[in-house]
Every structure is written in C-alpha cells, then in structure tokens.
C-alpha cells in the first residue's frame, strides 16, 4: 500500500522528470520547447511559443500535418477531415493552415501545452489510415463492437488527474453492481511510443477516481500480429488490462456487465 507521503513523492518525481527532460531555446523571438514525448519516428515533440497580444500562441509549426503529407496522408477526404476535427475539438486545438495551434496565458500555459502535445500524438496516428487494408478507423470498429454487444458507454471523455492536467479517453463505462467504472483507450498501433502515454495518463488519474476504477487498452493486432510480450507485461504492471482485438469476443462480459 502506497501511503500519502509516498504518493506526494511520486507526484514530485513525475514533475521533476518532465522538467528535467524539457529543453528550451530561442529562435528569432520564438520559444522552442523540446518535450520528452516521442512522435511516431521516436523524435521528441517540439512546441513553439510566441507572444500573442497579452497572451501566448502555442503551435507545432506545421510539423505534424507536413509529416503526414510527406508520408502520403493528405487530409482531403471527408472521413479523414472529420477524424482530424474530432481530435482537435477533443483537445481544444485548432488548425490554421498547416499548423496546430492553441492559445494560452502564463497561468494556463502548462495545461494548454499538454493539450497540444496530446493532439499532436493523436493526429500523428492518422498515418495509419493510409494503409489500404484499414477499412475503418480502429476507434470506430471498437465503438461498433461496444454498441453491438449492448455495452453502455460514453465516448470521448476528459479526466483531470492529480497533476491538474486533463487526459482524454475514447470510452467510459459506468460502474455496475458487478464491475467498476471502466475507461477504454484504443491503440491502433501497439508500440512502446503509443502505450507509454497511456501509462502516464492512468498513473495520473487512478488515485483521483473511485477505488475500483479500471483501465482497458484495446490493441489492434490485425496488422501487427506480434505485439511484444514485454509491452503487455508492462501494461499489467501499471494495472492496465490489455484486450487484443483478435480476442475481443472473449472479453465482452468484462465490459458489458
């Protein structure tokens, strides 16, 4: 059992890790921040901040959409544009030209930067819609699976953690007499880079939720058959219950009851 002193130490340790792994430099009057979060290339995500009147304008400098375009994903179809807008709306971010942007004040800067980084990670995942074998977005497949099996759920929710930062989850299932409150994050490409953010999110919110809350990660193993056993074990260590898409029918009772 982790006591209150240990919990405070964990929070401080997490905050120290974030601070120690952010690099900042000035480029022509623009503050460039290199964060400890990785994009799909395993490169550190950068956030650009500049003065905007009395506040700040934060952006990705157009890198995220430019990278998608170079990789063959143009946000030109109605389906992809809807997916992009859904991600941006969920995180409070807007698209101006090729840039992903969000406004902030000095007081709201940490939360707004956090929202922008989460949006960059989610938009980057649209690269996988370029594969012709992907007929539907994985999240839509999961939504249909839940609906078909009469699972009561709320889509696209934000939960504030003990750090004060909001985290987004794809679905929430209310508690019942036989099962606790459950959260679901869908992971289309189960890699280390895509699973670590979920571990950080769950570590941040689990202590502020009811004692019996549970976290599930639905992993798409249709294209990536050999999901690392080390990743699955790491999720279990963080009390995140992985559900392989190929084995979803055997897990219905954990979600529907």
| 152 three-state secondary structure | coil
Q: Are 209 and 181 in contact (CB under 8 A)?
A: yes
Two tokens at 193? Answer: 């880079």
C-beta neighbour count of 252 within 10 angstroms: 15
Would you say how long the chain is, in residues? 257
Q: How far apart are alpha carbons 105 and 113 in whole angstroms?
A: 11
Specify the pLDDT at position 177: 85
Q: Would you give per-residue pLDDT tens digits along the chain (257 residues)?
A: 445 456 667 666 766 766 666 788 888 889 999 988 888 888 899 999 999 988 999 999 999 999 988 876 778 767 778 889 999 999 999 999 999 999 999 899 989 999 999 999 999 888 766 554 343 567 888 998 999 999 999 999 999 988 888 899 999 999 888 888 999 999 888 888 888 899 999 999 988 887 778 999 999 887 556 788 888 999 999 999 999 999 999 999 999 88
Are the CB atoms for 142 and 170 separated by under 8 Å? yes
CB-based contact 60:46 (threshold 8 Å): yes
Taking each helix axis from N to C terminus, what angle separates 229-237 and 192-205, rounded to the nearest 10 degrees? 10
SS3 8: helix
Strand partners, 8: none
Tell me the three-class secondary structure of 81-149, residue by residue.
HHHHHHHHHHHCCEEECCEEEEEECCCCHHHHHHHHHHHHHHHHHHHHHHCCCCCCCHHHHHHHHHHHC
The structure's pTM equals: 0.57
Where do the domains of the chain lie, and which CATH numbers do they carry? 4-130 (no CATH), 138-256 (3.40.1350.10)
């Amino acid at each position: 059992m982790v006591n209150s002193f240990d919990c405070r130490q964990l929070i401080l340790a997490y905050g120290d890790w974030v601070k120690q792994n952010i690099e900042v430099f000035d480029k022509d009057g623009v503050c460039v921040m290199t964060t400890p979060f990785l994009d799909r290339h395993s490169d550190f995500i950068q956030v650009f901040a500049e003065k905007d009147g009395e506040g700040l304008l934060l952006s990705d400098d157009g890198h995220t959409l430019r990278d998608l375009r170079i990789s063959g994903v143009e946000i030109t179809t109605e389906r992809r544009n809807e997916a992009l807008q859904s991600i941006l709306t969920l995180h409070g971010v807007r698209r101006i030209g090729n840039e992903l942007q969000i406004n902030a004040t000095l007081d709201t800067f940490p939360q707004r930067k956090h929202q922008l980084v989460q949006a960059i990670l989610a938009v980057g995942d649209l690269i996988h819609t370029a594969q012709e074998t992907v007929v539907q977005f994985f999240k839509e497949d999961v939504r249909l699976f839940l609906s078909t099996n009469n699972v009561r759920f709320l889509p696209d929710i934000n939960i504030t953690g003990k750090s004060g930062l909001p985290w987004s989850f794809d679905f929430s299932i209310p508690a019942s007499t036989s099962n606790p409150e459950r959260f679901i994050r869908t992971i289309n490409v189960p890699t280390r880079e895509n699973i670590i953010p979920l571990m950080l999110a769950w570590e941040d919110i689990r202590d502020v939720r009811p004692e019996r809350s549970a976290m599930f990660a639905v992993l798409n193993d249709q294209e990536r058959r050999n999901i690392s056993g080390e990743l699955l074990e790491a999720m279990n260590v963080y009390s995140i219950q992985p559900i392989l898409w190929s084995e979803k029918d055997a897990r219905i009772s954990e979600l529907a009851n």
